[in-house]
Amino acid sequence: MEFHNMTTFTRAKSTLALTILTLLAILAPNVSAQEYATNPILYADVPDVSVLRVGDDYYMSSTTNHMAPGVPVMHSRNLVDWNIISYAYDVLEVNDKQELRAGKNAYGDGSWASSLRYHDGVFYLVTFSQTTGKTHVYTTRDPAGKWEAKSFEPMCHDCSLFFDDDDRVYLLYGGGDLRLTELKSDLSGFKTGGLDKIVVHNASDVAGGAVGLRAEGSQVFKRNGKYYITNITWPRGDMRTQIIHRADSIEGPYEGRVFIKDRGIAQGTIFEGADGQWYACLFQDSGAMGRMPYLTTVDWIDDWPVPSGDGKFPRTLPIKHEQGARPLGNIVGDDEFSNPDALADTLTMGPWQWNHNPDFENWSLKERPGWLRIKTARVDQTLTQARNTLTQRTFGPTSSATTSLDPRGLKDGDVAGLVLLQRRYGYVGVTRRDGKLFVVQAQADERTDKLTENVLIPLDGEPESIQLRAKCDFRDLRDLAEFSWSADGVNWETIGETLHMVYSIPQFIGYRFALFCRSAQQPGAVADFDFFHSGQ
């Protein structure tokens, strides 16, 4: 009874602290509202978060599906200011789907939810892929450096890696029924004769109602000798819900309950901070922009984790931003394409990712210094099958991207420019028809893949530079975008129709700004991009 009273008192203090900080941010004349972090902690597509603390440092991995390099690893010292420091892999695997060959693609596949762990001086990241049919394991001693790769079959859905105190290592995975399987000590596969059993049957049942999405997105942790498994589930007709199970033995039996049900924010990690405070970092579906991570403090009552305060994710957090920190760190950013080594072999950090594996022979930062050159080596009938499309995230609540294109290397039937990439994509670019250049705005139907060119504007002669811009409005799930172009970078003209952006499950990723070049009649196009600038 005394312990219960103490934890209740601690929870009351957390509630009071959050309330006071919110009032200070709103009312105090000498306290800037920008000093304190707010939810979402990243207003961008950062789903399936796995958060790890090592000492005073926090690391977080996320899902980027078919993009390459894949599985961004981010670092923070305060849980709200994050920067990408590495990717788990440069390319997941070389096959027709990942290479956009033979009409195949990996949209919606690639790699999914990851598990980030640290044990005996080594960082581990485990993910899985329907594209390869494998479970992939990456290791490093320096999370900002190169990760070493190994893989094994089968593919373990939404797997969570767990090292127990006796150094036995397990993988918990599955949907609905959660299976625990012991791994070899080198994580090269399942251990022969090791533990392999379903430890939680019908995990979704604790959320009540008819099951829509079965419990998945497992993350396993241990506290005070008890084992905890946290999952997302989605009762039919209700909202995405985070649940949790606990047991005195890793084999069970497990008992469960709802951890939080708040605006559909679910799937992620519960973990202890450097100061002993516990936290939960989960994500929310946010329309066409993607899925945003939210943070809340967590209290413990009778050995159960409970969200602090009113049991909801607060608007204002009791954490100050670092002095001079950018709201999205280097997760989005400008590029003058002035560093010829930045993309020379791999992308090791920062916002850029290729749409599928790149064709390394047909892009360059060195052929024309200060410019990104994209070339075509084949004919593609749709933009979504074109290789060497270079992307970075859109972000909210509003965002824009501007680039400058030299279109003189385009041949008849070619088009290059700036696209908002998803299945219902839209772009502004330059195309060549019968030897003449035109500014074009077009968009695709996500059901039929039919491309509609909304407008063509003829250009005079062979201009060295045409500037292109896309603006997004994600406020209140508006999910609208408009396009414009300029001949001089000063006078801008809106072009074409407003794009109503739609988050599509077949691609399963938020909209991306992307630079592209596609040939529809003959290969050999050359498109040079001078810069990429992002903004609100």
Q: What is the pLDDT of residues 282-317, one digit of tens each?
A: 999 999 999 999 999 999 999 999 999 999 999 999
Is the pLDDT at 1 greater than 70? The verdict is no
Of 307, 337, 371, the last residue of a domain is: 307
When pLDDT is averaged across residues 143-160 and rounded to a whole number, the result is: 96
Q: Containing domain of residue 28, as a range?
A: 1-36
**Which one, of 170, 266, 261, lies nearest residue 221 by Cα?**
170
When pLDDT is averaged across residues 206-226 and rounded to a whole number, the result is: 95
| Whole-angstrom distance, CA of residue 268 vs CA of residue 270 | 7
Question: Which helix or strand (DSSP H or E) is residue 135 part of?
Answer: strand 134-140
Do residues 511 and 499 make contact, with C-beta atoms less than 8 angstroms apart? Answer: no
- On whether both 45 and 30 belong to a single domain, the answer is no
DSSP, collapsed to helix, strand or coil, labels residue 348 as coil
- On whether both 369 and 280 belong to a single domain, the answer is no
With respect to residue 312, please indicate whether it lies within any of the assigned structural domains. Answer: no
The count of C-alpha atoms lying within 13 angstroms of the C-alpha of 25, restricted to the half-sphere facing its C-beta, is 18
**Which one, of 276, 246, 275, 281, lies nearest residue 260 by Cα?**
281
User: Which DSSP symbol is given to 64?
Assistant: -
- On whether both 79 and 142 belong to a single domain, the answer is yes
**Which one, of 189, 173, 167, 171, lies nearest residue 181 by Cα?**
171
Domain with 158 in it: what CATH number?
2.115.10.20
- Beta strand 316-320 pairing with 36-38: antiparallel
Which residue is associated with the tokens 């791994």?
A: 183
* pLDDT category of residue 343 using cuts at 50, 70 and 90: low
Q: What is the pLDDT of residues 400-411, one digit of tens each?
A: 999 999 999 999
The neighbouring-strand residues paired with 129 are 134
Considering its fold, how many domains does the chain have in total?
3
* pLDDT category of residue 341 using cuts at 50, 70 and 90: low
Is the pLDDT at 348 greater than 70? The verdict is no
With respect to residue 324, please indicate whether it lies within any of the assigned structural domains. Answer: no
For residue 449, the model assigns a pLDDT of 79
| Whole-angstrom distance, CA of residue 253 vs CA of residue 251 | 7
Do residues 118 and 54 make contact, with C-beta atoms less than 8 angstroms apart? Answer: yes
Q: What is the pLDDT of residues 429-473, one digit of tens each?
A: 999 999 999 999 999 998 877 999 999 999 999 999 999 999 999
**Which one, of 493, 502, 483, lies nearest residue 422 by Cα?**
502
| Whole-angstrom distance, CA of residue 169 vs CA of residue 187 | 8
DSSP, collapsed to helix, strand or coil, labels residue 242 as strand
Is the pLDDT at 2 greater than 50? The verdict is no
The neighbouring-strand residues paired with 152 are 135
Is the pLDDT at 338 greater than 90? The verdict is no
- On whether both 31 and 41 belong to a single domain, the answer is no
Residue at 440: amino acid letter: V
DSSP, collapsed to helix, strand or coil, labels residue 8 as helix
- On whether both 149 and 205 belong to a single domain, the answer is yes
Whole-number Cα distances in Å, 133 to 83, 90, 153, 157: 30, 18, 7, 10
* Strands of 394-479, DSSP E: 398-406, 415-421, 426-433, 436-444, 451-458, 466-473
- On whether both 276 and 291 belong to a single domain, the answer is yes
The set of residues, in sequence order, having a beta carbon less than 8 Å from that of 448 and lying 6+ positions away, is none
Handedness of CA 182, 187, 191, 196 (dihedral sign): positive
| Whole-angstrom distance, CA of residue 216 vs CA of residue 221 | 15
| Whole-angstrom distance, CA of residue 154 vs CA of residue 481 | 41
For residue 34, the model assigns a pLDDT of 54
Domain with 500 in it: what CATH number?
2.60.120.200
Tell me the percentage of the chain whose pLDDT exceeds 90: 87
With respect to residue 275, please indicate whether it lies within any of the assigned structural domains. Answer: yes
**Which one, of 393, 397, 535, 395, lies nearest residue 476 by Cα?**
397
With respect to residue 347, please indicate whether it lies within any of the assigned structural domains. Answer: no
* pLDDT category of residue 15 using cuts at 50, 70 and 90: very low
- On whether both 383 and 253 belong to a single domain, the answer is no
For residue 330, the model assigns a pLDDT of 93
Of 277, 307, 337, the last residue of a domain is: 307
Lookup: tokens for 528: 């040079």
| Whole-angstrom distance, CA of residue 426 vs CA of residue 133 | 32
| Whole-angstrom distance, CA of residue 168 vs CA of residue 190 | 12
* pLDDT category of residue 7 using cuts at 50, 70 and 90: very low
- On whether both 102 and 236 belong to a single domain, the answer is yes
With respect to residue 331, please indicate whether it lies within any of the assigned structural domains. Answer: no
| Whole-angstrom distance, CA of residue 534 vs CA of residue 536 | 7
Is the backbone of residue 189 left (phi > 0), alpha (psi -120 to 50) or beta? left
**Which one, of 35, 14, 1, 53, lies nearest residue 327 by Cα?**
35
Helices (H), 284-432: none
* pLDDT category of residue 342 using cuts at 50, 70 and 90: low
- On whether both 67 and 17 belong to a single domain, the answer is no
- On whether both 119 and 133 belong to a single domain, the answer is yes
Lookup: tokens for 311: 């049991």
| Whole-angstrom distance, CA of residue 235 vs CA of residue 240 | 7
The set of residues, in sequence order, having a beta carbon less than 8 Å from that of 9 and lying 6+ positions away, is none
Phi, psi (deg, nearest 5) at residue 6: -65, -45
The set of residues, in sequence order, having a beta carbon less than 8 Å from that of 388 and lying 6+ positions away, is 354, 358, 359, 362, 363, 374, 375, 516, 517
With respect to residue 338, please indicate whether it lies within any of the assigned structural domains. Answer: no
Is the pLDDT at 399 greater than 60? The verdict is yes
| Whole-angstrom distance, CA of residue 203 vs CA of residue 230 | 10
- On whether both 227 and 126 belong to a single domain, the answer is yes
Q: What is the mean pLDDT of the chain?
A: 91
With respect to residue 344, please indicate whether it lies within any of the assigned structural domains. Answer: no
For residue 193, the model assigns a pLDDT of 97
* Strands of 202-275, DSSP E: 211-223, 226-235, 241-247, 255-260, 266-272
pTM: predicted TM-score of the whole model, two decimal places = 0.92
- On whether both 100 and 214 belong to a single domain, the answer is yes
Is the pLDDT at 167 greater than 70? The verdict is yes
Do residues 512 and 421 make contact, with C-beta atoms less than 8 angstroms apart? Answer: yes
With respect to residue 343, please indicate whether it lies within any of the assigned structural domains. Answer: no
